[in-house]
Amino acid sequence: MVSDYEPLIEGLKLLDPKDRHVLAAAVKAGAQAIVTRNLKDFPATDLEPWGVEAKSPDAFVLDQVGIRVQRAAAAIRQITGSRTNPPGSVDDILRQLEHDGLVESVTALRAP
């Protein structure tokens, strides 16, 4: 939870002024990335001065898989194990993630 970011909002420039609170919170928190499906409203030229990058959910998860593939695979197994109604398999979870747009991430997780 990020607080006290509001004073930063007015000094920020983005295509959609309604998105400035997202960048303000990221700057206040010292975040390196904003994860969003709305990449067009967070151009690199507006984020670069703040040391922030906009990433799609798939790109962000793919980065995590690339950093620690074993930990990412363990997280998928944990999600699978927590599913009870209805129960699901690892493949079910991967298919759902792929359906939700994490196509490259799922490809990386399925790789040997």
**pLDDT (0 to 100) of residue 91:** 94
Tens place of pLDDT per residue across the chain (112 aa): 999 999 999 999 999 999 999 999 999 999 999 999 999 999 999 999 999 999 999 999 999 999 999 999 999 999 999 988 888 899 999 999 999 999 999 999 998 6
- Beta-bridge mates of residue 65: none
**pLDDT (0 to 100) of residue 2:** 96
| Distance (Å, whole) CA 105 – CA 58 | 6
For the chain, give every domain's residue range. Answer: 6-55, 59-110
**pLDDT (0 to 100) of residue 112:** 61
What's the whole-model pTM score?
Answer: 0.84
Amino acid (1-letter code) at residue 86: P
Q: Which residues contact 14 (CB under 8 A, 6 or more apart)?
A: 20, 23, 41, 42, 43, 46
**pLDDT (0 to 100) of residue 57:** 98
